[in-house]
Structure 1
Amino acid sequence: MKLNKLAFGIALGLGAFGLAHAVTTIPTVTIKIVAFNDFHGQLESPGNLRNLPSDPTATIPVGGVDWLAGYVENLKSQNPSSIVVSAGDIIGATPLVSALFHDEPTIETMNRLGLEFNAVGNHEFDEGKNELKRMQNGGCHPTDPNSCQGASVGTPVPFEGAAFKFLAANVVETATGKTLFPQYAIKVVGGVRIGFIGMTLKETPTIVTPTGVAGLEFKDEAATVNALIPKLRARGVEAVVVLIHQGGTIPVSQTASTINNCDGGLDGSPLKTIVNQLDDEVDLVISGHTHQAYNCQIANKAGRLISVTSANSQGRVLTDIDVAINTANGEVSSVSAENIVVDRRATATITPNAAIKTIVNNYKTLSTPIANRVIGSISAAITTTANAAGESALGDVIADAQLLATRNVGFGEAVAAFMNPGGIRANLTYPSGTANEGDGKVTYAEAFTVQPFGNTVVTLTLTGAQIHTLLEQQFTGCTVGYPAGAPASGQPFNRILQVSDGFSYEWKEKGTACDNVDPASIKINGVVVDPAASYRITVNNFMADGGDQYYVLTQGTNRLGGALDLDALESYFTVNGTVAPGPQNRILPAP
């Protein structure tokens, strides 16, 4: 629990009798916690990491679940009283080698890595709560034959499920009033009882497909933790650790930052606001969600500084935490944390886990024929880098692909398509410095990395006025058309939709909610949109259900489901041959 302010040595003053002072030392035990977050099924190395943000290039080869397991084992060998934890998003938005098998490979390798507790993150809900329960409990997917490949990769059949516990203290099933998973877990380590409270961000319903969180309520994080403190105390817990899938960001201007700095103190972040409200009995917060590496001291409700950590993402970094506990009174006397790069060059001290590597290699063999299939080519790199108006070349291409898939009679008769930028997860890079330099071939695996969610395209009818509302809902603070009870400010930033060829408009942020887009500038094929007229528009099913708080789309009528978004992109390559970067001239800043 909270830090004991008393000295840890007790002097027995017998000087009046001429006797020497005696000192009794209060014994302590040190617990090691090994933590990571936002693994996202990155079974293989995600590439290189920059040593410092100021470095011009990333030069340190990092990650891979076999190497991550090697680092975990090395840290555990330093202290037999060790625990391995995750702050969420171990699955969801994953590479093909995991996603093709519904992330069973990630769960299986995490079991062998020794993970014990995982706070459920928002991406764990990508396939819905029932699929998430299958991840915990095991069993084959009800319809996909790619599930339960254990006989081919060397794992049990049927799928074994997670040997570690999912924790979700603030996620409640509305039908029962009970939490989806346990609120906390208690483990006796080194003779002391440690409580782990696991949570995801309360804004999860605004960033996950609504069907994925249907029937669930996400409660306030700080209030949830504070309400659990008496229960943990009653069960003899001597240290409280919060695993929370919510985070902060380090300003990019801090060019001297390292993975162990806390430049800016996470000012203005949701996480800092949460920590500032936490009960003084909380000793440590392990966070995630923002894919940042930081090692902070943040004030709790009582004004006491406590450690708040995050370990980047995709297995690039992990956090080595030592918690010293005074066994005489159960108080935490110190917490020290260090973020460590999962450096694949460290062969002298780290041995990657060979059994885990074999499992990954076997899944790779199964997925390779699909991954290597060429679907088209590009003439240059097509990236998510946005111009001043928020439009990217890759956003243009994806919106055009979805319009092409739905514009014909019988397929939607769409006149425009819109793509949420958060659904575009990677760039299409042009080969450079390799044997195939200049060929620009795009494989299925590369396209999957760009759009990994398996969304479908949906065409629906909106009025011109509703299209205007949709564009206004891109900007923070515009809640017109929000359903009753919907959070008013779930997004901390503007989310400029990517638009298809033929659609154009101008915007200028004026500081007044719902007054950023000039209706007269909204045009389809050069004609101003009529507020009273009806238009067929295409979005993905995530957006169509109100995802990312584009709630006006839930009012769309005459819905028609279509192809997978990835199939639409592949068809676009088939029709167009070599694809060039989008022109980035459809959205304009107003003069």
Structure 2
Amino acid sequence: MRFFRSGIAMAAGVCLAGLATVPPVAAEAGARPVDVQLLSITDFHGYIRPHNDAANGTIKDSQGNTLVVGGAPYIATHLKNLRAGHENSITFSAGDNFSGWPTEVSQHADEPTIEFLNRIGTDFTTVGNHELDRSLEFLRDHMGKGKCFGVIGVDSCFTDSSGRLFHGADFAISTANITRKGSTRPVLEPYVIKWVKAGWRRIPVGFINLTTPTTVNGSTSYQPSLDNLALVETADKYAAKLRRMGVKAIVANVHEGGTTTGDFYDQCANPSGPVMDFARQASPDIDAIVTGHWHAPFNCSIPDPAGNPRPVVEAAFHGKLINEINLKIDPRTRDVIRSQTVSTNHPVTRDVPADPDMVKMVDYWTAKGLETAAKPVGKITGDLTRARDTDGESTLGNLVADVELADSRRTPGGGADLAMVAVAPAKGSNSLRADLKYTGDGTVTLGQAWNTWGYANPVLTVSVKGSQLEQALEQQWQAQANGTVRFAPLAVSGNVRFSYDLAKPVGDRVLPENVLIDGQPLDPAKTYRLAGLAYTLIGADGYSAFAGYTDAVRGERDYEAFRDYLRNGPVSPPALDRAVALNANG
């Protein structure tokens, strides 16, 4: 528990279309402060089901003891207990609610997460980077408004645990710094104003919602049609605007990362990271900063530019913690009394009764997850495996390259000439996650396809020079500090053939004339359209050759692209004939 002692906090500004200037509250001699409770979670990622593994279901207390935490039934109970006795309580999220990793959530278009957030009485959320893992339209129209897409009950708009068809969020989704490319106007409402009771009057509290600037170029949230505005400048702009409107109690709800060196969930040891820099620079009118993104537990007090401390908090991830900030607002000035602000991170322990309605909800989606995962999505005629031959080819790797090419060619503006897949990347994680074996009549279920390839990355199509493609093929062999050479092969689509010479030095093993695309030699000066996962193209796999690509077009995510390809089957294992060694002995 932390107290933040300073002078009276000024407030920061945010804008709500059509809201008039807030009238002042009449002065009252000796008026008692108004109590306002803020309850927040962050980076929930659809973890409605209580998890029992150490990474997702535990957290350390101040003594180093391990607490078992998390799960929707326990979050609901803790929220109910925390709200007890509070007339003014506001519940919100610091982003990354969606793109659930648990399959019972992710295979249902994250709709179970929305049901959970609606049920716990969420008032609003900022947009995290993972809120944009599909598209702005998916976030705004499907998640926000309940608009269906694809086949109802198969692709979206599933029946929830209460028997209702998905209807979208009952809460506001907000961000001040995500815009259309070339615009400075936010794509969603930049802030939220909540009114709290002060006797028979009401006082406004403004929440500026912000999204990490790494979003639009992130590997999963890559959105070439969107742009990010800078955090500090955007926060200051809306803080000033809110202030002019008469909103003086202001909170920044920022999906941006910070960290500390302590393990305890309610500590602040050596704070660092971009959100801590933000906290030191953002307008003194902002009274508290709630954060997310780096999955860290901390409860800090960081001085604002005027030297006054204010809480900077993060409630870990996956529903392990609930942060509580208690503000006291002077009813005469409508300002937060900073010296009386208290902040606490509460562990979502499982030593309380599980909320029975939430237990039913979790059981419903868990069972539905098993049912959905068992649905057939296509057929194969033989094993698709990650086993690589001496040229680095595998049946699964080659197939995935074909999947990327097909996705690009059906995406408006895509039109790839070829595709590449990192099948044994020099760094990062491998998108080829499991073999897909032929069993029975070759039927592939959604669950099998989901587990075979992908990590929620979009297929991008970009423009690169032929010289970059040659360089990428050269980077399959990477010299190591100990003098060895690491082989990090790239799979290519079926319209590509290339040969290489191991007798040549690293960096000079592939000649342009030995790379054929649709039967034509690679032209180093020509511009080609290349399809690949965003993770690979931005260099996260360890291939720098693609840097400087242009004209990016986003296709489907890997999961959906693979499913669509299988639906057009049956799919046969590709031949391993796309890479040939000219001198295999080196």
TM-score, scaled relative to structure 1: 0.67
CA distance, structure 2, for counterparts of residue 415 and residue 84 of structure 1: 43
Q: Relative to 1, partners in 2 of residues 1:163 and 1:175: Cα closer, same or farther, differing over 3 Å? A: farther
Deviation at 1:291, TM superposition (A): 0.4
Asked if 1:505 is matched to 2:474, the reply is: no
Instruction: Classify 1:189/1:147 alpha carbon distance in 2 versus 1 (closer, same or farther; 3 Å).
Output: farther
Q: Is 1:552 equivalent to 2:547 in the alignment?
A: yes
Counterpart in the other structure of 1:431:
none
Whether the 8 Å contact between 1:116 and 1:165 is mirrored in structure 2 is yes
Report if the CA contact (8 A) 1:419-1:540 is conserved.
no
Distance 1:243 1:400 in 2: 46
- State the shift of 1:446 in Å: 11
Contact 2:420–2:532 (CA under 8 A) maintained in structure 1: no
Alignment partner of 1:216 is 2:220: no
Measured in 1, the distance between the counterparts of 2:8 and 2:146 equals 49
Q: How does 1:401-416 map to 2 (within 5 A)?
A: 403-405=397-399
2:313 match: 309
| Correspondence for 1:359 | 361
CA distance in 1, matches of 2:329, 2:393: 55
Q: Distance in 2 between matches of 1:236 and 1:219?
A: 25
For residue 171 of structure 1, report the CA deviation from its aligned partner: 1.1
Give the superposition deviation at 1:98.
1.0
Q: Which amino acid aligns with 1:294?
A: F
Partner of 2:144, secondary structure, is: helix
The alpha-carbon distance between structure 1 residues 273 and 175, as it changes in their structure 2 partners (threshold 3 A), is closer
Amino acid at match of 2:347: V
Deviation track 1:13-43 (CA, whole Å, cap 9, x = no partner) reads xxxxxxxxxxx85521221111110001111
- The verdict on how the C-alpha distance between 1:407 and 1:54 changes in structure 2, with shifts beyond 3 A counting, is farther
Contact persistence 1:448–1:566 (CA under 8 A): no
User: 2:423·2:430 contact (CA, 8 Å) conserved in 1?
Assistant: no
Letter in 1 for 2:205: I
Specify the code of the residue in structure 2 equivalent to 1:298: I
Q: What is the rounded CA distance, in whole Å, between the counterparts of 1:265 and 1:124 in structure 2?
A: 26
Match of 1:288 among 292, 295, 298: 292
Q: Displacement of 1:369 after TM fit?
A: 3.6
Instruction: Tell me how far 1:99 sits from its aligned partner.
Output: 1.1
Cα distance in 2 for partners of 1:188, 1:452 equals 41
Q: Is 1:119–1:199's contact at 8 Å kept on the other side of the alignment?
A: yes
Aligned to 1:297: 301
1:51 aligns with 60
Q: What are the equivalent positions in structure 2 for 1:332-343 lying under 5 Å apart?
A: 332-333=336-337, 334-343=340-349
1:277 to 281, 291, 303: 281
Q: CA deviation at 1:300?
A: 1.8
- The yes-or-no answer on 1:131 pairing with 2:123 is no
Please report how far the alpha carbon of residue 67 of structure 1 lies from its aligned counterpart in structure 2 after TM superposition.
1.5
SS of 1:285's equivalent in the other structure is strand
Change (3 A) 1:173 1:329: same
Q: Which residues in structure 2 correspond to 1:107-256 (within 5 Å)? A: 107-134=114-141, 135-143=143-151, 145-147=153-155, 150-151=158-159, 153-157=161-165, 159-174=166-181, 177-191=184-198, 192-209=203-220, 213-251=223-261, 254=262
1:470–1:552 contact (8 Å) kept in structure 2: no
Q: SS at 1:190's partner residue?
A: strand
Q: Is the partner of 1:181 in helix, strand or coil?
A: coil
Q: Give matches, 1:568-587, under 5 Å.
A: none
Contact 1:31–1:322 under 8 Å retained in 2? yes
What residue ranges of structure 2 are gaps of 5+ in the alignment? 10-28, 377-386, 407-417, 435-445, 491-498, 518-528, 574-586
- 2:35 paired with 1:30: yes
For residues 128-159 of structure 1, give each alpha carbon's deviation from its aligned partner in whole angstroms, at most 9, with x where no partner exists.
111011211112123464245554632432x2
User: Cα distance 1:364–1:370, how it changes in 2: closer, same or farther (>3 A)?
Assistant: same
* 2:456–2:558 CA contact under 8 A, matched in 1: no
Aligned-pair Cα RMSD in Å: 4.8
The question of 1:330 aligning with 2:303 is answered no
Cα 1:304–1:40 change in 2 (3 A) is same
Distance of 2:364 and 2:102 partners within structure 1: 15
Q: Is the 8 A contact 1:504 1:524 kept in 2?
A: no
SS at match of 1:153: coil
**What letter corresponds to residue 262 of structure 1 in structure 2?**
C
In the TM superposition, 1:326-405 aligns within 5 A as 326-333=330-337, 334-344=340-350, 346-347=351-352, 351-371=353-373, 403-405=397-399
| 1:68 matched residue in structure 2 | 75
**AA of the residue aligned to 1:69:** A
For 1:49, the aligned partner's letter is T
For residues 97 and 539 of structure 1, what CA distance do their matches in structure 2 show? 30
Return the letter of the residue paired with 2:60: N
- Cα distance between partner residues in 2 of 1:131 and 1:281: 34
CA distance in 1, matches of 2:228, 2:107: 29
Task: Tell me, yes or no, if the aligned pair for 2:469 and 2:545 is still in contact at 8 Å.
Answer: no
Q: Deviations over 1:375-417 (max 9, x none)?
A: xxxxxxxxxxxxxxxxxx9xxxx99675243579999796964
Structure 1 residue identity aligned to 2:140: K
Q: Select the residue among 318, 323, 341 that pairs with 1:319.
A: 323
How far apart are residue 60 of structure 1 and its match? 2.9
- Closer, same or farther: CA 71–367 of 1 in aligned 2, 3 Å: same
Deviation by residue 1:352-379 (Cα, 9 ceiling, x = unmatched): 33223323322222221454799xxxxx
Compared with structure 1, are the counterparts of its residues 341 and 540 closer, same or farther at alpha carbon in structure 2 (3 Å cutoff)?
Answer: farther
CA distance in 1, matches of 2:359, 2:121: 15
Q: 1:262 to 1:416 in 2, by over 3 A?
A: closer
Percent of counterpart pairs with the same letter? 22
Mapping 1:440-459, distance limit 5 Å:
444=447, 448=451, 451-453=454-456, 455=458
Change (3 A) 1:506 1:545: closer
Residue type of the alignment partner of 2:241: K
**Separation in 1 of the partners of 2:266 and 2:516?**
51
Distance 1:108 1:122, change over 3 A: same
Gaps of 5+ in 1: 8-23, 375-392, 429-442, 472-498, 510-516, 576-591
- What is the SS of the residue equivalent to 1:223? helix
Distance 1:447-1:413 versus aligned 2 partners, 3 A rule: closer
**Counterpart of 2:270 in 1: which secondary structure?**
helix
Partner of 1:258: 264
Q: Which amino acid aligns with 1:337?
A: S
Distance in 2 of aligned mates of 1:358 and 1:169: 36
Structure 1 154/46 Cα, relative in aligned 2: closer, same or farther at 3 Å? Answer: same
Read off the aligned partner of 1:43 and give its amino acid letter. Answer: I
CA distance in 2, matches of 1:280, 1:556: 40
Distance, in Å, in 2 between the alignment partners of 1:247 and 1:449 is: 31
